[in-house]
A and B are shown apart, each in its own frame.
Chain A
Amino acid sequence: MTRQVAVTGIGVVAPGGIGVPAFWDLLSGGRTATRGITLFDPEGLRSRIAAECDFDPLAHGLEPELVERADRYIQFAVAAATEAVTDSGVDFGAEDPWRVAVSLGSAVGGTTRLEHDYVQVSEGGQRWDVDHRAANPYLHRAFSPSTLASDVAERFGAQGPVQTVSTGCTSGLDAVGYAFHTIEEGRADICITGASDSPISPITMACFDAIKATSPNNDDPAHASRPFDAHRDGFVMGEGAAVLVLEELEHARARGAHVYCEIGGYATFGNAYHMTGLTSEGLEMARAIDAALDHARVDPTDIDYVNAHGSGTRQNDRHETAAVKKSLGSHAYDTPMSSIKSMVGHSLGAIGAIEVVACVLALARQVVPPTANYETPDPECDLDYVPRTARPRRLDNVLSVGSGFGGFQSAVLLTGPGGRTK
């Protein structure tokens, strides 16, 4: 008997508004949350814009003690997890804790805290033999990437497999994929999954400056993230978190839970091509899409919406357009494909999970979120990118895809109540 995997709770911390209602409001309204950086003084950087979260941890119910010891990305994750768990109605006191898993992704983890404290112990970058006496007592928590999953697991009493996934910018998709496998293959009945990143710091902005991957459109931040547009000039850094409660379908039904949709399939492949570069053919991403559909037993022609990686770099959007055309064939031209990075920026490892939550909401509301700022078609990107305005549409099977530094190519398929037609 195959175990099916249901989504029973969602939570999100995203730029433009904290929580699921504000997030959907932003997406369905086609508004952008990109602006000049306020989290630090970006003077001297090539890209000085980002999509920041206006996040007050205390107002979102985080304890002062947690706020002191936990990095910003962990605070995001805890807030999103709390929303998702509340939404799911799971009573963890009544669950077998060994059957509750956690799978959370992050691309750069505690980098922001690591950098902050580095400045203290190095006298502003002056010494290699750093002075440990100036270090924060919680610094080791930023050093260890597993702190993310550990903190969330401890909060909800999960005692099953607990892992942090870090596959660059596909971390969020892959964390959800690992959670899907964990439930499908019987190692847990419930998995708290998703991803978080807070990469808006000097070192992370500077390292993307160095490879000119981020948009230098500092004069017009609201329109800087332009996926698929002919005038796109790089991605806009973002931050945030999204968490989903995944649950074995019968387990969810037995407790009378609301089921948003199912995760039907997941696959990932490497492109073995370049750490940052992408081919113009997108064969490996196409293969991930094919494998995810195959696992879900869904035909390419049954796909109703593709939530794109759509970062807004020259290479990515071309690569991804080619990949989707390869997998969906001529049906690609009839399938809306949009990038919410146009509105919430690119929060590295977190964005994949944020995009999966956007897909869950799209299925629930039967509305395709748009690609904001899309004005000028690019001959190399010739699909229907849902320009600027959200679009009501019958949605049964939706696909979320992503690419990450390191060559990762991942795809997650979500199916609504009318899905799986094959």
Chain B
Amino acid sequence: MTTEVTQVTVEELATLMKTAAGVTVDPGELERRADSTFAEFGLDSLGLLGIVGELENRHGRALPNDAERCKSPRAFLDLVNVALTTGA
């Protein structure tokens, strides 16, 4: 599997925040404030769990347990993309 296919982008995360948790956020804004907490964007723990579940189903594999404990978009994307590209 190639890395292009498995990378989760900021745009994709913004879309997931909308569909899975009802949180509207502009991808540019999400990128600029990638170190802010999810809570500041209005995303709560259940919302993040929903996003993790959705990504796991899309990619057909489990993500690390730490994924739903990530506090910021950057931490989350870093962790998820390492896991997806290394197959960890």
Contact = CB atoms under 8 A, between A and B. Distances in A.
A66 interface: no
B44 A211 contact: no
Interface residues of B, number: 7
A277 B45 contact: yes
A277 B49 CA distance: 13
Nearest to A211: B49
B63 to A, nearest CB: 12
Contacts of B68: 212
A210 B49 contact: yes
A275 B49 CA distance: 14
Contacts of A211: 46, 49
A275 B21 CA distance: 14
A53 to B, nearest CB: 30
Interface in B64-82: 68
A365 interface: no
A191 B45 CA distance: 40
Interface residues of A, number: 7
Contact of B44 (A210, A212, A274): A274
A280 B25 CA distance: 29
A76 B60 CA distance: 40
A301 interface: no
A330 interface: no
Interface in B28-59: 44-46, 49-50, 53
Interface string A72-94: 00000000000000000000000
Interface in A197-236: 210-212
Contacts of B53: 210
- Give the secondary structure class of A's interface: loop
A277 B45 CA distance: 8
Contacts of A274: 44-45
Most chain A Cβ neighbours within 10 Å, of B49, B50, B68: B49
B14 to A, nearest CB: 22
Nearest to B45: A277
Nearest to A277: B45
Interface in A36-53: none
Contacts of B50: 210
Contacts of B46: 211, 275-276
Contacts of A210: 49-50, 53
A274 B42 CA distance: 13
Contacts of A275: 46
A211 B53 CA distance: 9
Contacts of A277: 44-45
Nearest to B50: A210
Nearest to B52: A212
B26 to A, nearest CB: 26
Interface in A270-328: 274-277
Interface in A250-284: 274-277
A44 to B, nearest CB: 12
A212 B45 CA distance: 11
B33 to A, nearest CB: 23
14 contacts: A210-B49, A210-B50, A210-B53, A211-B46, A211-B49, A212-B49, A212-B68, A274-B44, A274-B45, A275-B46, A276-B45, A276-B46, A277-B44, A277-B45
Given A210-B49, A212-B49, A274-B45, 11 more contacts: A210-B50, A210-B53, A211-B46, A211-B49, A212-B68, A274-B44, A275-B46, A276-B45, A276-B46, A277-B44, A277-B45
Interface of B: 44-46, 49-50, 53, 68
Which 10 residue pairs of A and B lie closest in terms of their CB atoms, listed nearest first?
A211-B49, A210-B53, A277-B45, A211-B46, A276-B46, A274-B44, A210-B49, A212-B49, A212-B68, A277-B44
